[in-house]
Structure 1
Amino acid sequence: MGFWADFKKEVIDEMGEDLQELKQEVGQIIEEEMEIVTSEMEVEKHLGAFEKKFNKMVKQAEQNKKIRKSVEKQLGAVKKMGINEIKDKKRGEPMFPGRREKMFNKYGGGTAAQAVSTTTETLNKRYNFKQSNDAMWIDLNVDFFKYRAYNEEELINLKRLEGKAESLKAERVMQKAKDLRQELLQEEKHLFGVVQKTNPDNYGFKLFGGAKEAGADFGNDYYNAKLLFEDKLALYGGRGRTDLLQNYNKHLEELKGQPDRMEKAILSVEKQLEPKETLEEKSQSAQVLREEPQQENKDEQIQYVDALRKKLEKEKAARPAFDKTR
């Protein structure tokens, strides 16, 4: 094969590798985009069901049409904020940041999650007496919205800590923060799935059962989910939920008044995250330390015996031969 043939083959091979990498990158982007689109559709469908059931509940409890209209408007805003949040993530930035902030402030939160949680919790306390499966499902959604507001704050703080750690080259803190964010996002996704599955519309008649049996299944699932959210919400405290944020905030409090306390706190946490020698490793190290002197003593004894043997052999060689005739 000549030079140009070899060159052509090399170029084609390189293009093939680049093309394969490009295909993988495009495939990954499409997959991520599809996940966002699916999330948008799921959230829109879910919030639509929540809005419809909540309005029905308010209509039964509230006689004043003007107040009902006001509640409908608030629930419409909740749905809009939830859907727009997904769209903003898809775009990478909000389309109308000023209008968005104004809406958040109007409904009592600095973020969409906080505004949705504040609004739904207020309305739920006022109108929800949990007298039906739909009412209990609405109550479960309110718990999820509250959890999500707390979780979002934790995620934001972890992201900030990750950025600060990166600037200080505190790689262990940075990686730990990144891993924890992924864990919390997966948990949030799972809990949203729990609420979706617990929708009373998913509990139909059974072949050998009936409405009573389906209702009993819903009741069990509702109470299990309710306990799950109570447990999760109890994890969020003043210093944060994750051990990383708790430890970091503890150091910040201890370093209060000191210059560069954030940097010092991060470096302290970084040092604490260094791999620690296990008990087994410590035991092995101690055993080696005990054995080394013994080995040295044995080596010294062997050297001493060899030197003595050589000395005796030398003296024997220098001694005159024994005369048997005497």
Structure 2
Amino acid sequence: MILAGAIPAVLLAVLLDQAIAVLQKSGYRLFQKLKYIVPAILIIIGAIYFLTSVSENKLKAGFTLEFMGRQDGDLGLRSVYGLNVNPVVVSDAVMYKAVYEKDLDLISGYSTDGRIKAFDLYVPNDDKKIFPPYFAAPIIKTKTLEKFPELEKILNLLSGKFNDSIMTDLNYKSDYLHQTPEKIAKDFLIKNNLYKISRKGNSGTVRIGSKIFGEQYILTEMYKILIEGNTHYKVETKTGLGGTEICFAALMNDAIDFYTEYTGTGLLVLLKPTEQTIKKVSQSADETYRYVNSEFQKQYGIQWLKPLGFNNSYALMMRRKQSKGLNVKSISDLKNYLNQK
């Protein structure tokens, strides 16, 4: 079983803290004895916790550590839905396979992850809207658009060409079929009659940045092909820069010219408005987009170009066959199922 040793992060922290305290008091000789005993104790505790969690809950849940601490995550599930599934902390690297192999029944994830298709998972509807819209769009400084006057029109060629299903399929080709971002991007553009051979121009260099996951690499390659095929600009890609803060700092400091961001990230991570504002603007994808675009222009001189059309938000996932068997179509359905005696 993948998760036989999974225990809550809080319990691990307490155990580690106590162990360090004992070692500091007792010295090296006791450490030599404990180094064989402590791992065995942790395994036993983990097994006991796992077994009792299974017996007390109808479903076995595992969430990432980040998801556990977010309002658009486990905190929101508890406060808005009243849903407490006693999840264990699980790495993103193993949780999809864990739910597929029935070590888990419910996991957190991203709504356009290619592994949803790979493992035939189902995403229950967030009917009370705790996950704000995370629609993707290029963000770019106004002065950069003035410097490259053809750029806005070209970048907007991808607007409306995606939905969640299309992006999930492209991510599946990357994550599961191991196709390169270049191939995925070229095939997509050919299919949508957008592909043109590079003009090999030298009228200026556009620098595209990206975060450090497959979806961003694919979109970066699409923009590179579009720019070089429709203009005389040259493109330099800076993929895998890091997370949101690093990419945004690179944009602000003119180390890159644009990158693809998500409206929910712009709202919660970069703007950080009041809870009242978040609640007001996050009920609608259009309202979220209008708000972040307006505030980014006021505060940073940055524009959000037209959204691509897909929403890569946080989500809950379970096996499709299991969701059908339990008649779980929404998170409220999930809550009602767990409340049944």
Is TM (by shorter chain) over 0.5? no
Which one has the largest radius of gyration? Answer: 1
Structure with more contact order per residue of length (Cα contacts < 8 Å, sep ≥ 6):
2
TM-score (norm 2): 0.26
Structure showing the higher helix proportion among its residues = 1
